[in-house]
């Protein structure tokens, strides 16, 4: 019996163009997914690729896309309906983009499983289109709804349900894909690298909203990743900054970052099979605490009691100085309010002097720590 590979593409606004680079890396390594799953832009790219769009075609479309092609203000609705307007942007441009990328077919017509993550707005429950019993609906409708970020685009009707962006509940639907796979390749573009981002203050509603959404999505997805008990998972986190959420100027760079991150993460792919409950790639990390900066607040201990402790002088210390981490680990590092904790990749330090942040660090909103 052949072993099944699931590719899970997360949401992240226009940062999701990095998924195209990941697809390119997979093709070069002859890794062919048997199951596709996605949220928001991840669902759009997964559906487009599965239904026939090549990597080069996806890249050409992404690089040709401009703001006017997607974001057109709903002036009339906001003027007449004011607070009752469903969104600040019109529905039609996003609908048109989906229609240009995906044929008008149902999930039942696909040659391979496709799972599109959304949320039923009325019931407040996750709905994953493409699961058994949820296949006789339009893929276009499901993908639009999965991309309909609340406040930005109106909710979408899928069958008898009114749905919104699945990232509200699960931005990286690995748990659902796990039921259909022996190994998972998951691409997280929803987390951010705030070290490269401008301060949110004074940047306007959209930037503040998206920065807040980034924090929420990251927090929601970290819990299952840190406690993963499913099939082996390769977690790819391209180094992308918050500005790319709504930016049309960095498309080529985002694609390249996705490609590079995937090549690194997939270097030892063949050795990851049959290692259930593990997240890869793994690396040795040295944890250090600057005692002069440490205030003894205990945040690190509260978040990672098995890793960090407080000594007799009320200063934080690592219980084990060198640990083996996956990209899902070490989220507590960036939570330190004084940046007193650093995590250094031991395996790269000797030759490059690099910190975890330089390779594949957990690109979380505060940007201090590593994975």
Cis check: omega of the bond before 305, within 30 degrees of 0: no
DSSP β-bridge partners for residue 163: 120, 156
pLDDT at residue 355 is higher than 60: no
For residue 249, the model assigns a pLDDT of 76
For residue 354, the model assigns a pLDDT of 47
pLDDT band at 164 (very low <50, low <70, confident <90, very high): very high
For residue 356, the model assigns a pLDDT of 43
For residue 202, the model assigns a pLDDT of 58
Task: Tell me the backbone φ, ψ of residue 26, rounded to 5 degrees.
Answer: -60, -45
DSSP state letters, 276-331: TT-EES-EEEEEEE-TTT-----HHHHH-TTTEEE-TTS-EEESSSEEEE-TTS-T
Confidence (pTM): 0.87
**Which residue is listed with tokens 């796979």?**
181
CA distance 364 to 214: 8
Q: Pick 301 or 207 by higher pLDDT.
A: 301
For residue 84, the model assigns a pLDDT of 63
pLDDT digits (tens, 9 = 90+) for 181-209: 999 999 999 775 544 445 656 566 666 76
Give me the mean pLDDT over the 105-130 stretch. Answer: 96
pLDDT, averaged across the chain? 86
For residue 190, the model assigns a pLDDT of 78
H or E segment to which residue 95 belongs: helix 92-101
C-beta separation of 239 from 257 below 8 A: yes
pLDDT at residue 97 is higher than 80: yes
CA distance 255 to 16: 9
């Amino acid at each position: 019996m052949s072993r099944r590979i699931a590719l899970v593409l997360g949401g992240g606004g226009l940062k999701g163009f990095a998924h195209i680079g990941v697809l390119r890396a997979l093709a070069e390594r002859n890794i062919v997914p048997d199951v596709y799953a996605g949220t928001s832009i991840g669902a759009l790219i997964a559906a487009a690729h599965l239904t026939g769009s090549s990597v080069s075609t996806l890249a050409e479309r992404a690089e040709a896309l401009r703001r006017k092609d997607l974001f057109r203000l709903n002036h009339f609705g906001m003027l007449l309906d004011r607070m009752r307007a469903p969104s600040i942007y019109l529905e039609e441009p996003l609908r048109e983009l989906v229609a240009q990328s995906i044929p008008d077919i149902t999930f039942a017509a696909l040659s391979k499983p496709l799972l599109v993550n959304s949320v039923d707005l009325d019931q407040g429950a996750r709905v994953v289109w493409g699961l058994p019993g949820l296949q006789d609906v339009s893929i276009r409708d499901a993908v639009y709804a999965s991309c309909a970020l609340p406040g930005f685009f109106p909710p979408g009707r899928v069958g008898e349900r009114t749905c919104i962006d699945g990232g509200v509940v699960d931005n990286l639907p690995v748990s659902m894909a796990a039921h259909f796979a022996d190994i998972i390749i998951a691409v997280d573009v929803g987390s951010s690298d705030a070290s490269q981002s401008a301060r949110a203050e004074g940047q306007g509603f959209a930037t503040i909203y998206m920065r807040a959404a980034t924090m929420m999505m990251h927090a929601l997805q970290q819990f299952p990743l840190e406690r993963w008990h499913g099939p082996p998972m390769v977690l790819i986190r391209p180094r992308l900054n918050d500005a790319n959420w709504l930016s049309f100027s960095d498309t080529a760079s985002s694609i390249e970052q996705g490609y590079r991150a995937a090549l690194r993460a997939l270097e030892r792919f063949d050795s990851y099979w049959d290692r259930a409950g593990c997240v890869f790639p793994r690396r040795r990390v040295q944890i250090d605490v600057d005692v002069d900066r440490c205030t003894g607040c205990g945040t690190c201990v509260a978040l990672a009691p098995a890793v960090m402790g407080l000594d007799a002088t009320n200063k934080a210390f690592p219980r084990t100085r060198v640990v083996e981490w996956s990209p899902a680990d070490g989220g507590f590092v960036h939570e330190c309010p004084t940046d007193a904790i650093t995590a250094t990749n031991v395996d790269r330090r000797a030759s490059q002097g690099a910190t975890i942040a330089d390779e594949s660090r957990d690109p979380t909103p505060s940007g201090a720590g590593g994975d």
